[in-house]
A and B are shown apart, each in its own frame.
Chain A
Amino acid sequence: QTVVTQETSLTVSPGGTVTLTCASTTGAVTSGNFPNWFQQRPGQAPRTLIYRTNNKHSWTPARFSGSLLGGKATLTLSGVQPEDEADYYCLLNFQNNWFFGGGTKLTVL
């Protein structure tokens, strides 16, 4: 069974930069896993931030970016705002089956 792993929690200062990672137990994450990233604020439905590794939706703030680095998918927040405090999830595709990571709780402090 494929397992997708993320940091459990991270803390960042307002205005700072933080990188969240998304790894797979089956090996390196590639563009062929079509990484998607989601933000979920408390009490809200998730929203999609990044699709296909590094593409943004029209509603995605410019400070969010996605990439691949060191065999992992990454989500970088530059110039973090207080409203970025949330849970972040990645989603990877493996031959038409999708697996979520366990999520990263990002604290802005």
Chain B
Amino acid sequence: QVQLVQSGAEVQKPGASVKVSCKAYGYTFSSYGVTWVRQAPGKGLEWMAWVNAHDGNTFYAQNFQDRVTVTTDPSTNTAYLEMRSLRSDDTAMYYCVRDYDYICGSWGQGTLVTVSS
């Protein structure tokens, strides 16, 4: 069945970068997109970015377009989220979501990124 498996928790210092992975199982990876969403502790969901796994086309939320890059590697069925210049308020759970034609589908289990000195 469709499954998105994300990489493990990360602890990073302010100013550092982090790269979160999302490996897809159970479907043709290049036929879908991947959306990235984050959730700060005790807060709501925040849409970050989207990447087309077929052609690498991307869209970014205005809040993230300068610090975030989303990519895919079709050879390993994996999507990536890289965030630079981390701040303490980037501490959050980061989720990947399978996405196609405005249809949100299965979610990954989430990756906790903690930014602390």
Residues of A in contact with B (beta carbons under 8 Å apart): 1, 34, 36, 38, 40, 45-48, 51-52, 55, 57, 87, 89, 91, 93, 96-103
A interface majority secondary structure: strand
Residues of B in contact with A (beta carbons under 8 Å apart): 35, 37, 44-47, 50, 59, 61-62, 95, 97, 102-110
Within the complex, the shortest CB–CB distance from A68 to chain B, in Å, comes to: 15
The answer to whether B44 and A102 touch across the interface, beta carbons within 8 angstroms, is yes
Within the complex, the shortest CB–CB distance from A34 to chain B, in Å, comes to: 4
Count: A-B pairs, CB below 8 Å: 58
The answer to whether B95 and A103 touch across the interface, beta carbons within 8 angstroms, is no
Which partner residue on chain A sits nearest B108 by CB separation?
A45
In the bound complex, residues from chain A placing their C-beta under 8 Å from that of B104 are 36, 38, 48, 51, 91
In the bound complex, residues from chain A placing their C-beta under 8 Å from that of B102 are 34, 36, 51-52, 93
A-B pairs with lowest CB-CB distance, top 8? A34-B102, A98-B47, A51-B103, A100-B45, A103-B44, A36-B104, A48-B104, A45-B107
